[in-house]
Chain A
Amino acid sequence: QSALTQPASVSGSPGQPITISCTGTSSNVGGYDYVSWYQHHPGKAPKLIIYDVSKRPSGVSARFSGSKSGNTASLTISGLQAEDEADYYCCSYTSSRTWVFGGGTKLTVL
């Protein structure tokens, strides 16, 4: 159950796009279309922003989008805003009927 691999940090200026990658294996990310992404502000509960690789829950901004190629999933935020500054985690269902998170990525809006 090794954690999925995410960059520790990314940054961007307001209005710019950023992409966060999430690399796993064929036993998790590559094997299932069950990758989700969570936004986590310190002191608050995590918020689901993408599920099933690329679907957005109701109420989540269209600036957030997800995709997958092989064993790597990606979260793209277009038009960065100050309130997007947070930690972002990917998560995947696995062949062991468990779930595994990425190590998390700290997004800084410059």
Chain B
Amino acid sequence: QVHLVESGGGVVQPGRSLRLSCAASGFTFASNAMHWVRQAPGKGLEWVAVISYDGSSKYYADSVKGRFTISRDNSKDTLYVQMNSLRVEDTALYYCATKGVSGFAWDYWGQGTQVTVSS
């Protein structure tokens, strides 16, 4: 059974950094592209970033490009996102997600980790 568990969220001041992790199990992690998706309070879902199965390709939403870095450690079955220069508008519940039947949709999601950026 696929299991994704996010961690690392918390309260941080604007301009500071935070690293989120997503521990995966129940599937061959090294074979799957992995994504981060977030939801700000009272707002809709927003796609954040994707990393290819081997880490060689990475793409970002314009809203986080240059500030966030997605990475993975296939030896630890873990996905990361390093979030720098955090802004109040980065406050959100952050989910990691991965494909099942389709390479362009996400069958499997974690429960999310909350990031709050506030002074």
CA distance A13 to B102 in the complex (A): 32
Q: How many residues of A contact B (CB 8 A)?
A: 28
In the complex, are the beta carbons of B45 and A101 less than 8 A apart?
yes
Chain A residues with CB under 8 A of B62: 1
Question: Does A38 reach chain B (CB closer than 8 Å)?
Answer: yes
Q: Chain A, 87-100, contact with B by CB distance < 8 Å: what is the 0/1 string? A: 10101010011111
Question: Does B35 reach chain A (CB closer than 8 Å)?
Answer: yes
Name B's interface SS.
loop
Please pick, from A51, A102, A103, the residue contacting B104 in the complex, using a CB distance under 8 A. A51
Nearest opposing residue in chain A for B57, CB measure: A97
Chain A residues with CB under 8 A of B112: 45
In the complex, are the beta carbons of B100 and A48 less than 8 A apart?
yes
A-B contact count (CB 8 A): 71
Nearest opposing residue in chain A for B46, CB measure: A101
Question: Does B77 reach chain A (CB closer than 8 Å)?
Answer: no
CA distance A46 to B106 in the complex (A): 9
Question: Does A63 reach chain B (CB closer than 8 Å)?
Answer: no
Interface residues of A (CB under 8 A from B): 1, 3, 32, 34, 36, 38, 40, 45-46, 48, 51-52, 55, 57-58, 87, 89, 91, 93, 96-104
**Lowest 3 A-B CB distances belong to which pairs?**
A51-B105, A36-B105, A104-B44
